[in-house]
Amino acid sequence: MELELTDEQQQVVASVRRFVREEIAPLEADLDPDASELAPEDHERLVGMARSMGLYGLDIPEEFGGPGVDLVTRTLISIEMAQHRAGLYAPCYGVFGGAGLAQLYEANEDQKERYLYPMLRGEKRGCFALTEPSGGSDPARAIRTTAVKDGDGWVLNGEKTFISGADRADFAITFARTDPEKGRNGITCFIVDTDMPGFRVRRIVHTLRSSHYATELEFDGLRIPSANVLGEVNRGFAIANDRLSRNRIPYAAGCIGVAIRAQEMAIEYVKHRETFGDVLATRQAIQWMIVDNEIDIRTSRWLTLDAAARAERGESFRTEAAMAKLVASEAGGRVVDRVMQIHGGYGMTKDLPLERWFREMRIRRVGEGPSEVQRLIMARDLIGGSFH
Ligand X SMILES: Cc1cc2nc3c(=O)[nH]c(=O)nc-3n(C[C@H](O)[C@H](O)[C@H](O)COP(=O)(O)OP(=O)(O)OC[C@H]3O[C@@H](n4cnc5c(N)ncnc54)[C@H](O)[C@@H]3O)c2cc1C
Active site residues: 368
- Smallest Cα–Cα separation from 143: which of 200, 186, 198? 186
Question: In this complex, which beta carbon is closest to ligand X, that of residue 23 or of residue 218?
Answer: 218
Question: In this complex, which beta carbon is closest to ligand X, that of residue 8 or of residue 138?
Answer: 138
Q: How far apart are CA 4 and CA 302, in angstroms?
A: 11
Question: In this complex, which beta carbon is closest to ligand X, that of residue 347 or of residue 369?
Answer: 369
Minimum Å distance from CB 369 to ligand X? 6
- Smallest Cα–Cα separation from 88: which of 34, 51, 27, 14? 34
Question: In this complex, which beta carbon is closest to ligand X, that of residue 205 or of residue 267?
Answer: 205
Q: How far apart are CA 49 and CA 51, in angstroms?
A: 5
DSSP 159-174: EEEEEETGGG-SEEEE
Maximum C-alpha span of the chain? 81
Among all residues, whose Cβ is closest to ligand X?
136
Minimum Å distance from CB 138 to ligand X? 6
Question: In this complex, which beta carbon is closest to ligand X, that of residue 72 or of residue 129?
Answer: 129
Going by their DSSP bridges, the two strands 199-205 and 187-193 should be labelled as: unpaired
133 phi and psi, to 5 degrees?
-55, -25
Other Cβ atoms closer than 10 A to 274: 10
- 299: which residues sit within 8 A by CB, 6+ positions away? 327, 331
Minimum Å distance from CB 373 to ligand X? 5
Its sign, for the CA torsion 251, 254, 256, 259, is: negative
Minimum Å distance from CB 84 to ligand X? 20
Minimum Å distance from CB 133 to ligand X? 8
Minimum Å distance from CB 278 to ligand X? 42
- Smallest Cα–Cα separation from 326: which of 369, 387, 380, 385? 369
Q: How far apart are CA 179 and CA 188, in angstroms?
A: 9
Minimum Å distance from CB 375 to ligand X? 8
Question: In this complex, which beta carbon is closest to ligand X, that of residue 97 or of residue 139?
Answer: 139
Q: Contact positions toward ligand X, by CB under 6 A?
A: 127-131, 135-137, 162-164, 207, 209, 214, 363, 366-367, 369-370, 372-373, 376, 388
Half-sphere exposure of 340 (CA within 13 A, CB side): 18
DSSP 113-135: IIIIHHHHTTS--EEEE--BTTB
Question: In this complex, which beta carbon is closest to ligand X, that of residue 134 or of residue 341?
Answer: 134
